[in-house]
Amino acid sequence: MFGISVLLIILLVIFILLLPLFALIDLVRSNLGEMNKIMWVLIILFMPIFGSILYFVLGRIQNN
């Protein structure tokens, strides 16, 4: 049982680290305006999990 909980914690930490990274990569590749990109970078950096989820939900809408 101890091994499963350690594995879940490791997977959660990887998710927490990778989600903002993927959001920033997607943001750099997007065709948003410069001011919008700066705004989203700040949101993602200051609130990594919530900001990343917010970007994937709302930022992609702005991108279209």
How far apart (Å, rounded) are the C-alpha atoms in residues 56 and 27?
9
Terminal CA-CA length for the chain: 46
* pLDDT value of residue 64: 61
Domain boundaries, the chain: 2-63
* pLDDT value of residue 63: 65
Q: How many CB atoms lie within 10 A of CB 63?
A: 14
For the full predicted model, state whether its pTM sits above 0.85. Answer: no
* pLDDT value of residue 48: 92
* pLDDT value of residue 59: 81
pLDDT digit string (tens) for 15-62?
Answer: 899 999 999 999 999 988 899 999 999 999 999 999 999 999 988 777
Is a pLDDT exceeding 70 seen at residue 1?
Answer: no
